[in-house]
Amino acid sequence: MSTAVDGLQQRFLEISEPDTDGVYRDGPQRRARRTDLAVRALRELWTQACEDVPFDVPREGIGLAAVGSLARGQIGPCSDLDLVIVHDVHILDQEQLAAFASKLWYPLWDCGLGLDQSVRTRQQCEDITDKDLPAVVGWLDMTPIAGDVDYLAGTATEILARWRKAARQRLPELLGSASERLERSGRLAYLNQPDVKESRGGLRDTTLISALAASWLADRPHGRYDQAVERLLDIRDCLHLAARKDTDILLAAYQPRVAALLGLDDPTLPRNERDVKAIDDLQTMLARLGRAIAFSWESTAARASHTLTHDKPRFAFFQVFTPRFGGRREAPTFEILAPGVAQHEREVVLAPSVKPETDAELPLRVAVAAAEYGLPINALTLRNLGRCPITDRDWSASMRALLIRLLASGSALTDVWEELDSVDIPGRWIPEWLAIRNRPSASSAHRFTIDRHMIEVVSRLGRRSQHGHGYDDEEYAILLLAGLLHDIGKRPGVDDHAREGARHVPVILERMGFAPRVVDRVALLVREHLSLSRLAGTCDPNDIASAGKLAARLDHDPVLLDMLLDLTKADGSSLGATAGETITKHYGWSQWRERLVVTMADTVRAAMRR
């Protein structure tokens, strides 16, 4: 017997077919059409099911609702349908409920749709907020489809009200679950084959943001965030079309097709070059979207956490008398960390009366304070820093010193640089940074994007060398700047990125006003940053002749050799294994590899002495 949902999966795919040029456009409109088609078909199926059972299904006290992506209007070409029958406990007995539910579920299964279904009483739905945190996040969007719509709407209203009452107590659990997911799935921006749903910066984070906004603990971000969500949904839709199934893992096998559907394929290039460039552009896009969504989630979570400290009336910036309640409110307290920079509620903020539009050095002072005190930068402060007259040239001595302090902050550097990057500050300091920002490495050994990899390398560079030599201030600055710029030459079409990077280094550092000796040595280290590793892998590490050639290129300077060894080890050890894996097993940087490099360095040192 035919049903209202026959061929529904095929109709989803027809709605999702790309335009005549092979590009998938108008994603929001297509998702709206798929949602409307699904809702109309389910309403017809409900009516048909009511007629097919040998008992009367009441018009009140029972209904069919959608949750998940269908409820949010985000259903993909091959997405599962998340449906629930909500009923009053006295409406039908268990046998009748089972018979009626089977009239709804079996036609959906038979037509090839994935289905996540349940049958719950209204009380069971309302109790979700107390028992199942992941479920309540999805159920906050519960949307009535068929049956007693008013009964379903009342249930949805009660779920939302109970969530708002419980949100303050459940917030630590919600944030903890997000942190655990980050450990499992990594960051969307840095993965070669990401999970576009579960990774940090993926679609799961957007549902958490909506949940926090619904709780009234924080406002929902808009603007660039909304654009990022829609574009990530477009990528998910194209992934479904490429895989022809419901999947969230963007495997390498699907990436050429997904890139082509998104219009990233350049038909003027040879086929092999087309795929490489298209995949590179796709991963660059993913990194940009993932960073935007991750920043929005982390900012929203921080604001929600701060809300918990304000159960009492919020303070005002000025002490005022309130006739109704009497007394005075306390003014906010600021702990000054640096000129124009303060700490407030465990965040770095701008001190009162600071004028960002007149202070080019302010972003560096804020960043150094955040890194050295281990504090996040307030989201509004980050936006205000964008108003600073940031320049890429004619830096003052204090600005150069602050940059080196920031680069010397160790593991704290990665988070602070990420925050600055969210408002595009690094690219204003170093315009060449924009050419490698968010770009994946052509080498499969790299898990991180090129820019993130370079920051990871810098964060691993200590003041004492692996050989035991302690660097003075100038030497340490040279090493840190070399780490920051060692892959700046990794651009499309460049065969020797070390030599290309060495060409860019003098332009960048001379603009910023670094001394010629610093510029020359940074350029040399960038040019040679692969030499130790390549020699160790291609010749006898004890070969004094080969070592002598590298010694000559290093001007027979043992300090430069120490720097090159430290840079090589930081570069190799920061490639980044996937979650749950080890660098040793998957990426070739192991204790054995390190011993080869150190032995090669010792041979170069011996050549220098000779």
pLDDT of 272 > 90? The answer is no
Domain boundary at 135, 170, 205, which? Answer: 170
Q: What is the pTM for the complete model shown?
A: 0.79
Helix (H, G, I), strand (E, B) or coil at 441: coil
* Residue 78 and residue 201 in one domain: no
* Residue 46 and residue 88 in one domain: yes
Tens digit of each residue's pLDDT (9 = 90 or more) over 95-112: 999 999 999 999 999 888
Give 495-554 as a 3 state SS string: CCHHHHHHHHHHHHHHHHCCCHHHHHHHHHHHHHCCHHHHHHHHCCCCCHHHHHHHHHHC
User: What is the number of residues in the chain?
Assistant: 610
Q: Which domain holds residue 365?
A: 335-609
Give domain status of residue 431, yes or no.
Answer: yes
Give domain status of residue 326, yes or no.
Answer: no
Domain boundary at 170, 197, 213, which? Answer: 170
Give domain status of residue 318, yes or no.
Answer: no
Nearest-angstrom CA–CA distance, 389 and 251:
42
Report the candidate in 218, 202, 68, 85 with the shortest Cα–Cα distance to residue 142.
Answer: 68
Nearest-angstrom CA–CA distance, 216 and 163:
10
Give domain status of residue 175, yes or no.
Answer: no
Hey, CA dihedral for 395, 396, 401, 403, is it positive or negative? negative
Residue 328 confidence class, pLDDT cut points 50, 70, 90: low
The rounded radius of gyration (Å) of the Cα atoms in the chain is 29
Supply the mean pLDDT for the chain. 87
Instruction: Determine the pLDDT at residue 49.
Output: 93
Cβ-Cβ contacts under 8 Å for 480 (sequence gap 6 or more)? 404, 407, 408, 458, 461
Residue with structure tokens 């001595």? Answer: 397
| Contact call for residues 471 and 463 (beta carbons, < 8 A) | yes
* Residue 216 and residue 268 in one domain: yes
* Residue 563 and residue 591 in one domain: yes
Give domain status of residue 315, yes or no.
Answer: no
For the segment 579-593, the average pLDDT, to the nearest whole number, is: 48
Instruction: Determine the pLDDT at residue 601.
Output: 86
Residue 2 confidence class, pLDDT cut points 50, 70, 90: low
> What are the contacts of 300-303 at 24+ separation with CB within 8 A?
300/209, 300/212, 300/213, 300/218, 300/219, 300/220, 300/221, 301/175, 301/178, 301/208, 301/212, 301/218, 302/347, 302/376, 302/379, 303/217, 303/218, 303/219, 303/379
At residue 350, φ and ψ (nearest 5 deg) are: -80, 140
Task: Please report, for residues 117, 386, 451, 544, 600, the alpha-carbon distance to residue 529 in angstroms, rounded to integers and kept in the order given.
Answer: 56, 33, 16, 20, 14
What is the CA angle 581-178-130, rounded to 5?
Answer: 135
Report the candidate in 506, 550, 533 with the shortest Cα–Cα distance to residue 593.
Answer: 533
Domain boundary at 142, 170, 198, which? Answer: 170
Residue 462 sits in a domain whose CATH number is: 1.10.3090
pLDDT of 312 > 70? The answer is no
Residue 108 sits in a domain whose CATH number is: 3.30.460.10
For the segment 354-373, the average pLDDT, to the nearest whole number, is: 95
3-state helix, strand, coil in the chain (%, to 5): 60, 10, 35
* Residue 412 and residue 554 in one domain: yes
Give domain status of residue 21, yes or no.
Answer: yes
* Residue 437 and residue 291 in one domain: no
What is the DSSP-derived secondary structure letter of residue 79? P
* Residue 372 and residue 472 in one domain: yes
* Residue 288 and residue 357 in one domain: no
Work out how many domains the chain is built from and give that number: 3
H or E segment to which residue 384 belongs = helix 379-385
Give domain status of residue 251, yes or no.
Answer: yes
Instruction: Determine the pLDDT at residue 311.
Output: 52
Give domain status of residue 316, yes or no.
Answer: no
Tokens of 470: 């302690």
Tens digit of each residue's pLDDT (9 = 90 or more) over 36-52: 999 999 999 999 999 99
